[in-house]
């Protein structure tokens, strides 16, 4: 996960050693006030259309995180050349063990940039693009995203069954870059990135 493999876009990135392992730290540029924006570290020289993306993620809240911060952390894929279109799946670790059942139901999220951010999907298709999954802050969580044409599935922590299924990815099916994504108030860490292209 050396920083040389990545290009920062509207984010600050650096390498940090955690438990003897070099991990990538990604923090959203605080001047970007909109949410669900391209605030990520893009993987260099990899074009991805269909296949599997695996990565371990760990999130903490920044000291100045707003009240609505949830430890947002995830993956963007099929990013176009000028960062104006992509798909994304991310998690909200603080929601996973919250006493509020509604918040628990919003633990996992899909969105498509630019026209189908979480707030739009929550209104137009409530519950369809969000799900519950057990998780928490400050613990390593393994994400595996399986993408095939207009379908994507998210698996957590080597689960046998997906915690989220999206059967109608909103953007056109195309090849694009992959990125490690972080949102407001999140101190995000990534390790063990593995990308498997479908044959």
Bridge-based pairing state of the strands 86-91 and 108-113: antiparallel
| Mean per-residue pLDDT of the chain | 97
- Please name which of 117, 121, 120, 109 lies closest in space to residue 164, comparing C-alpha atoms: 109
Read off the pLDDT of residues 33-51 as tens digits, 9 standing for 90 and up: 999 999 999 999 999 999 9
Q: How far is CA 108 from CA 2, 32, 76, 118, 199, in A?
A: 27, 22, 14, 11, 28
Read off the pLDDT of residues 60-83 as tens digits, 9 standing for 90 and up: 999 999 999 999 999 999 999 999
Average pLDDT value for residue range 163-173 = 98
Residue 199 binned pLDDT confidence (cut-offs 50, 70, 90)? confident
Evaluate if pTM is beyond 0.85.
yes
State residue 86's pLDDT score.
Answer: 98
- What domains lie within the chain, and their CATH numbers? 3-197 (2.60.120.560)
- For residue 73, the Cα-to-chain-centroid distance in whole angstroms is 5
Bridge-based pairing state of the strands 73-79 and 86-91: antiparallel
Are 177 and 49 within 8 A, CB to CB? no
State residue 89's pLDDT score.
Answer: 98
């Amino acid at each position: 996960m050396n920083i040389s493999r990545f290009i920062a876009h509207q984010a600050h990135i650096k390498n940090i050693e955690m438990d003897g392992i070099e991990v990538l730290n990604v923090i959203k540029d605080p001047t970007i006030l909109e949410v669900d924006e391209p605030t990520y570290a893009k993987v260099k020289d990899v074009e991805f259309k269909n296949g599997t993306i695996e990565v371990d993620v760990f999130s903490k809240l920044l000291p100045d995180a707003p009240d609505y911060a949830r430890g947002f952390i995830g993956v963007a894929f099929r990013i176009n050349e000028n960062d104006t279109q992509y798909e994304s799946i991310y998690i909200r670790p603080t929601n996973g063990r919250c006493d509020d059942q509604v918040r628990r139901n919003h633990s996992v999220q899909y969105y498509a940039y630019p026209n189908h951010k979480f707030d739009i999907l929550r209104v137009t298709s409530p519950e369809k693009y969000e799900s519950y999954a057990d998780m928490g802050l400050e613990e390593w969580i393994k994400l595996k995203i399986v993408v095939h044409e207009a379908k994507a599935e998210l698996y957590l922590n080597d689960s046998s069954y997906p915690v989220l299924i999206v059967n109608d990815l909103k953007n056109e099916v195309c090849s694009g870059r992959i990125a490690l994504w972080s949102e407001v108030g999140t101190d995000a860490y990534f390790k063990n990135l593995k990308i498997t292209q479908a044959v």
